[in-house]
Amino acid sequence: MSTILLVSIIGLTIFYFILYHSIFRVMYFGNVGTSIVGEFISCGFAACITLVFGAAAIKFIFGIVGGIIVFLLKAAVVLAIVGGICFVIYCVVNAIKSKANDNYEEMSDINTDQEEFASTNESHTQNDGEKNICTNCGVEYNESAAFCVNCGEKIN
Ligand SMILES: [Zn+2]
């Protein structure tokens, strides 16, 4: 850690020194005669301040980012748990539903059988050639009818 700190201080000092010499001094101060040792010391001082502030800024940003990451991780865990519970409930409900559906289909199968049986019976009676004729008016009526469609006589 201290090696990294030392390397960054030296690197930053050299960077500031070059920056100062190549840009700032040329642009703003001209060719003023200052001692190189003094320049290095001030550049080193600036490097130290930069590192202190930089470290604080990085710590601050990492604190926020870390907080966001921790929050997201917590949210992900909560979502995963809630999603898992929902999935289990969905599976259970689906299983119950499909079982109920099977029962319903079995029942409707029986119903269809009964209907088929009834219709075959009906067609049998129709094929018998016996005609249902109203005793009151003599008009042919449907076997399932309760009253004559012509005169309204009740059919037994
Ligand atoms: Zn009739």
- Confidence at residue 114, expressed as pLDDT on a 0 to 100 scale: 63
CA of 148 to the centre of ligand 1 (A): 5
Is residue 97 situated within a structural domain?
Answer: yes
Q: By C-alpha distance, which of 82, 16, 26 is closest to 49? A: 16
Query: Beta-carbon neighbour count of residue 25 at 10 Å?
Result: 15
CA of residue 152 to ligand 1 center, whole Å: 6
* pLDDT of 111 over the 70 cut: no
Entry pTM: 0.37
Domain-located, residue 131: no
Q: Is the residue at 98 inside a domain?
A: yes
Tell me how far the alpha carbon of residue 143 lies from the centroid of ligand 1, in angstroms.
13
Give residue 115 CA to ligand 1 midpoint distance, Å: 29
Q: How many domains does the chain have?
A: 1
Ligand 1 center to residue 127 CA distance, Å? 23
| pLDDT greater than 90 at residue 71 | yes
Question: Does residue 12 form part of some domain?
Answer: yes
The predicted model gives 51-65 an average pLDDT of: 89
pLDDT tops 80 at residue 141: yes
